[in-house]
């Protein structure tokens, strides 16, 4: 198609990299680059594709779908951030190598020419993949100035592909990390989301902390590197946190909760007699800090509520001992709501102790809890625990009008439901009468 218009077309970026690594996802979106200008690309694709979108035309990108496969074709270009600007300036180029030189890393600066399938690798990306080395095509100062988000992308590639950054890349991030400030919060957030769900994000998280990059958008993370001293010994909270993230299943909400679960510890640390250290109510403080940080990163409200709730509840399991009462199980399930599975996953991941006996004991307690939940679920509707009477029934029985008294009555009935399980209507009315007889208002 493009040859007919005397234009060249190349498959580029992640698809080429992943194909060489044997990791190509057949359903992944394919990215192409061409020396044709956007208008020409749009004309060619309209004659071939099932649908075409030209919203990205001013950036050189025309999107299309064919037989359910989505593709994007972009005119050779370079992007550059001016000092203090949050929006890149796009320039079109005519040479493929110029386009590839402005890509983030050498392992992404690869192209496959079509239709002859010739690999174009001007910056040694294949050799870098073989050596598990992370480099930029140009000097890292140039690459990270062009798009500062690439510094954060480096963390993801280090973790995702097991790459070691070359020294000049590390030095450049350590020196230029403040440039991340010009990148929109949304782009930073999206890149963080991609990092936390790689199979093991540990190497990327350590890279962020050690280069100072994390301090630009997630200062609570490096703050977890609490000082160790010979008198007041305690676990390195940063190392523990990174371990918990890696132990949790790669579900975004759970991994984010693992990342934030202990951020309240620095603010709540206190020392006691005998060199003991404690972090009383760090889960409450941490939940508040989580909300603030996620709002700053422009997370959706639903994400903020779910992650902060997991942080707030992550110690709930440890307030119970083996031998859970039905009441304790009901309260745990009620408070967790639809986050129950995620909360259990976070709780299991939070056990990073090297003490084999303690680890086995904690695992046994969690197994016991999950068994008790399943047991009660078979008898009761745990997912929808509510008072045995509704507000209308309370008002009709007690002759009340809507108001605080009705709310207090419903709260009493909910407590009774949690403590004793479901009641029949007659039992619930009897309990309500007993409660009402003890209220001062009943004698007015």
pLDDT of residue 182: 93
**At a CB cut-off of 8 Å and minimum separation 6, what does 9 contact?**
1, 2, 32, 33, 34, 73, 113, 114
Helix (H, G, I), strand (E, B) or coil at 268: helix
Contact 11, 112 (CB under 8 A): yes
Q: What digits encode the pLDDT tens for the residues 282-320? A: 999 999 999 999 999 999 999 999 999 999 999 988 877
- How many residues does the structure list for the chain? 444
* Sites in the chain below the pLDDT cut of 70: 78-90, 226-235, 273-275, 321-323, 354, 378-385, 442-444
pLDDT of residue 197: 97
How far apart are alpha carbons 55 and 78 in whole angstroms? 19
How far apart are alpha carbons 365 and 34 in whole angstroms? 59
Helix (H, G, I), strand (E, B) or coil at 266: helix
Q: What residue ranges do the domains of the chain occupy? A: 1-131, 218-383, 386-443
pLDDT of residue 238: 93
pLDDT of residue 79: 59
CATH superfamily of 1-131: Beta Polymerase, domain 2 (3.30.460.10)
Give the class (CATH, top level) of 218-383. mainly alpha
Q: Are strands 30-34 and 69-75 parallel, antiparallel or unpaired?
A: parallel
Tell me the CA distances in angstroms from 104 to 115, 120, 153, one per residue in order.
25, 16, 8
Instruction: State both tokens at 224.
Output: 């977890």
pLDDT of residue 289: 97
Closest alpha carbon to 72 in 88, 86, 85, 56: 56
């Amino acid at each position: 198609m493009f040859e007919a218009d005397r234009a060249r077309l190349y498959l580029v970026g992640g698809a080429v990299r992943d194909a060489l690594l044997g990791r190509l996802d057949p359903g992944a979106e394919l990215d192409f680059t061409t020396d044709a200008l956007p208008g020409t690309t749009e004309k060619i694709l309209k004659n071939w594709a099932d649908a075409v979108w030209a919203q990205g035309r001013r950036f050189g990108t025309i999107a299309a779908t064919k037989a359910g496969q989505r593709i994007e074709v972009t005119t050779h270009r370079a992007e550059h951030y001016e000092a203090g600007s949050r929006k890149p300036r796009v320039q079109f180029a005519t040479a493929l190598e110029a386009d590839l030189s402005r890509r983030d890393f050498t392992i992404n600066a690869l192209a496959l020419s079509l239709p002859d399938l010739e690999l174009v690798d001007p910056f040694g990306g294949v050799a870098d993949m073989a050596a598990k080395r992370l480099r930029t095509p140009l000097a890292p100062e140039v690459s990270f100035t062009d798009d500062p988000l690439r510094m954060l992308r480096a963390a993801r590639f280090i973790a995702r592909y097991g790459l070691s950054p070359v020294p000049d890349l590390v030095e450049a991030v350590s020196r230029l990390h403040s440039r991340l400030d010009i990148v929109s919060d949304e782009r930073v957030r999206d890149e963080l989301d991609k990092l936390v769900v790689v199979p093991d994000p540990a190497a990327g998280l350590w890279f962020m902390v050690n280069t100072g990059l994390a301090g630009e958008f997630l200062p609570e993370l490096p703050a977890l590197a609490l000082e160790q001293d010979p008198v007041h010994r305690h676990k390195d909270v940063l190392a523990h946190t990174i371990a918990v993230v890696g132990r949790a299943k790669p579900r975004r909400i759970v991994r984010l909760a693992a990342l934030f679960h202990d951020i309240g510890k620095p603010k709540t640390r206190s020392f006691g007699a005998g060199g003991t250290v404690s972090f009383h109510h760090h889960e409450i403080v941490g939940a508040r800090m989580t909300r603030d940080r996620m709002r700053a990163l422009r997370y959706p409200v639903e994400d903020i509520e779910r992650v902060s709730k997991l942080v707030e509840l992550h110690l709930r399991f440890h307030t119970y001992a083996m031998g859970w009462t039905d009441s304790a199980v009901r309260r745990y399930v009620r408070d967790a709501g639809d986050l129950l599975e995620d909360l259990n996953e976070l709780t299991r991941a939070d056990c990073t102790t090297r003490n084999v006996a303690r680890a086995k004991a904690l695992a046994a307690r969690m197994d016991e809890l999950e068994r008790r939940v399943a047991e009660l679920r078979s008898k009761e509707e745990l997912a929808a625990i509510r008072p045995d009477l509704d507000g209308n029934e309370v008002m009709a029985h007690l002759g009340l009008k809507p108001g605080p008294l009705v709310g207090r009555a419903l709260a009493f009935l909910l407590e009774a439901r949690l403590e004793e399980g479901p009641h029949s209507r007659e039992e619930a009315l009897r309990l309500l009468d007993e409660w009402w007889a003890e209220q001062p208002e009943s004698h007015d």
